[in-house]
Structure 1
Amino acid sequence: MNVKTTRRGFLIASGLSVGIATLASTKFVPADEAPAKQKPDRLSGPPEVSAKAWAIIEGATGKFLWRDQETKPQVMASTTKIMTAWLVLDLQRKQPDILDQVMTVPEAAAKTDGSSAKILPGDRIQVRDLLYGLLLPSGNDAAAAFAEHCGEHYRQGGDPESAAQVFVAQMNRQAKEWGLEQTRYFDPHGLGKNHASAQNLAQIAWKAMQHELFRKIVQTRRYECEVLDAKGDKRQLTWSSTNRLLEIEGFDGIKTGTTTAAGSCLVSSGHRGKDHLIVVVLGSTSSEGRYVDTRNLYRWAWGERGQTD
C-alpha cells in the first residue's frame, strides 16, 4: 500500500514539475512588441499574383500596357518552344516546302527527357504535323528533332557545331535581332537554364502570333496524325493541349511551361469583344496558380480597358 501511494505521489509530483517547467519557458510577448502587420490589400491597381513577373501587351499592336518585374530574367521552361516553332515556320522564306517535308526522328531526340510527343526513333512524320506535337503536349522530343532537322538550314559558313547547336545559336541570333536583351537559349525545349524576362517573352509571343499557322496550332485542343515507324508501319498519334485556358471561351493560346527551377509559367492569348491581349506570367507557385494569376490579370486589364460582361 505504501509503495502504491508512493508511486502515485511520484507521478503527481512529476506532472507538477513538468507543468511548472512549461509555464516557466513560455514567453508572453506584449502587444506593442509583436511583429508589425502586413499592409492591407490595395483597392486599386493590378491584382496580387503569385507569379515572380508578368507582362500584358496589346494583341493588335504589340504595345506594352502593364507589367511587374518585367525586365528581370526568369527561367522560362517550355515557353522556350514558342521560339523553336517560330524558327521552323520562318524557314518557309528559305524553304517554301518546309512544312510538307517528311522528317525522320533521330534516336537521341526520341529519348529526350520530360514531356513528350511520343515519337520513336526512326519515325517519319511531316513537319507540319510535328509542330502540333511540339506545342500541344509540349514535346521535348519534338523540339530536339526539329533542332536536328532544321539546324542545317541555319548554318553559317563553316560552323563546326552539330545541327542542333546551330539551331540553338539561331534562336539566340533571332533574340538579339529583335533586341531581346534578357533572353538566352541553351536548348530548344526548355529543360535547361533558358531564361527570358516577361517583357521579352511577351514580345516573342506577339511575333509568333503574327503567323497564321502558329495561331491555328496554339488554339487547338486536340490533334491526331499518322506517322510511319522505322519498319514502315502506320501508327496514329493523338496530342492534347496542356493549356487549360483553352477550355474557356475567349482564350486561344499560347504555351505552358513548368520545371522546378522555373515554377509554373503561362503565355496566353485572350479576346474579349474586339479587344485582344497577350499575358505572360512567370514563376507562379503552382500549376493552378498560373491560371488564377492569368485570369485575374485579364479580368483587371479588360476592366481597365472598358470591357464589360
Structure 2
Amino acid sequence: MFKPPLPNQRLSSKALDQPMIHVRSIGSSQSNRLNRTSSGSRHRPASGQRSISFSKTDLHSKYGVPLVTAQNFIVMNGNDGQNLAVIQLNNQESFNSKKRVQIASLTKLMTCYVAIQLIRDLKINIYQIMYVSYDVYILTFKAVQISGTSAFLRAYDRITLYDLLHGLMLPSGNDAANVIAENLSSFVKDPVSNIALQYRIQPFISLMNQYALLLDMNDTQFYNPHGKPTSIFSGLSNDQSYSCAEDLATLCKQIINDPLLMDIVNKKEHQATIQRNNKLIKLTWENTNKMLEFEGYCGFKTGFTNKAGPCLATLFKKDSICIIIIILNCLSKEVRWDDTIKLSNWAQRKLNLN
C-alpha cells in the first residue's frame, strides 16, 4: 500500500483501505463532532481556541480593516505565515476566518496539490496519458448541468496529466478533477472498474484529507475532488465538504513553495492537446481568475456555488512583500475582485508601515 512521504511524517496505511468516509454536515454541534483520525470514519475537532467575535464595522472603525462584502476572510503574510489581522487585533482572529463553510472550487487547490505530491513521490511521468472514463463523463456532465464548470472533456478522451492539471485550475473543470482523482487513485490502490465512481476515486479523496491533517488544516474536510454539489455521491449534498479561510491560507502558503503549481495558477491561458476519436484536437482554456490582469497578482483560484457564494484565493507579490488573501461568500462574483484589492492595499500599507 502506497504511503506518500511528508517531512517527519507518514500517512496511515489504514486510511487508504476505507471505501468511504462517514461524515456529518456543517453546523453539527461541537459535542457531536467525531474526532477525526487518519483511519476509519473521521471528523476533525474544531480548532482549539476561538477568539472574540468582531463585526466588520468594528474591524473597520477600530482597526482600519477595510469594509468588504466577504462573510469570511483572512489576510496572511506569505513570508512568515502570520495573520496580519491577528497582529493588529492583539491576537484576535480576523473576520470569521476559522468558521467552517463550503469553499466551492477552492477545493481544487488541494486536488492539484495532492496530485503533484503523488507525481513526485511515485515518480509518475507528468506527460503520462490519462483516460476519461465513461462514468466520469456522464456523471460530471450531469453535475455541470446543475452547478459547475467544465474543461469540456468527453468520454474516452486521452489527455496528459500535465494538461489535466491546467484543465483543473484554469477553467476550474469539475470533469478534470474527477479524471485526476480516478486515474491517480489507481496508482494508490489497485483499481476496481466495476464499482461506483465514488468508490474508485476514494483513495485520492482520502489522501486529500490526510494531507489536510498533516498541514494542520483542522477545520477542513473533503468529500469530493471539485467542491461542487452533485448527485454523484449517493445523492448527498456537499455539506460534508468544508474548510475555513485560515486553513485555506495555510494550504496556499505551501503552494507558494511549489514552482510547478505556482506556474499553473499564474497562467492566463493554456492550450491542451487531446486524443479524441483517433484525432488530435486542441482546447484552449482561459483562467477564471481576473486578478491576474492586475500587476503583482499571481494566483491562486476562484470558486462559486450558490451555497458557498463567490470565493477567491489570491496571492500578491511585489518586492519583498508577499500577501495571501482568502475571501469567502462575497456579495457577487464581480465584487470579490474589489474586496480582494481593498484588503491587499490595506495589507501593503500595513507591511510598509512596519
Q: TM-score range by the shorter chain?
A: 0.7 to 0.9
Q: Is the 8 A contact 1:155 1:163 kept in 2?
A: no
Aligned to 1:135: 169
Contact 1:150–1:163 under 8 Å retained in 2: no
Query: Which structure carries more strand by proportion?
Result: 1
Q: Equivalent of 2:122, from 73, 95, 109?
A: 95
The reply on whether 1:303 has 2:349 as its aligned counterpart is yes
User: In structure 2, what is the equivalent of residue 185 of structure 1?
Assistant: 222
Deviation at 1:266, TM superposition (A): 0.2
Instruction: Kindly indicate whether the alpha-carbon contact (under 8 Å) linking 1:151 and 1:167 is maintained by their aligned counterparts in 2.
Output: yes
* Maintained 8 Å contact 1:101/1:126: yes
Q: Does 1:167 align with 2:213?
A: no
Which has the higher mean CA deviation after the structures are superposed, 173-182 or 256-265?
173-182
Q: Distance in 2 between matches of 1:180 and 1:50?
A: 25
Distance in 1, Cα, partners of 2:67 & 2:113: 32
Alignment of 1:141-220 (within 5 A): 141-155=175-189, 162-192=199-229, 193=238, 194-220=241-267
Deviations 1:43-75 (A, max 9, x none): 742111111111111222323222321111111
What residue in structure 1 maps to residue 73 of structure 2? 54
Q: Please say which structure displays the higher CA radius of gyration.
A: 1
The answer as to 2:136 corresponding to 1:109 is yes
Equivalence for 2:308: 262
> SS at the partner of 2:84?
strand
Given the two structures, how large is their TM-score scaled by the length of structure 2? Answer: 0.72
CA contact (8 A) 2:136 2:178 kept: yes
Asked whether the equivalents of residues 118 and 124 of structure 2 are also in contact (C-alpha less than 8 Å), the reply is: no
Aligned-residue RMSD, C-alpha: 2.2
| Cα distance in 2, alignment partners of residues 64 and 176 from structure 1 | 20
Percent identity between the aligned chains? 32
Distance in 1 (CA, whole Å) between partners of 2:123 and 2:82 is 31
Runs of 4+ in 1 over 4 A off after TM superposition: none
Gaps of 5+ in 1: 1-37
The answer on 1:286 being equivalent to 2:332 is yes
Stretches of structure 2 that go unaligned for 5 or more consecutive residues are 1-56, 86-93, 230-237
Moved more, 246-255 or 187-196: 187-196
- 2:100 matched to 1:73? yes
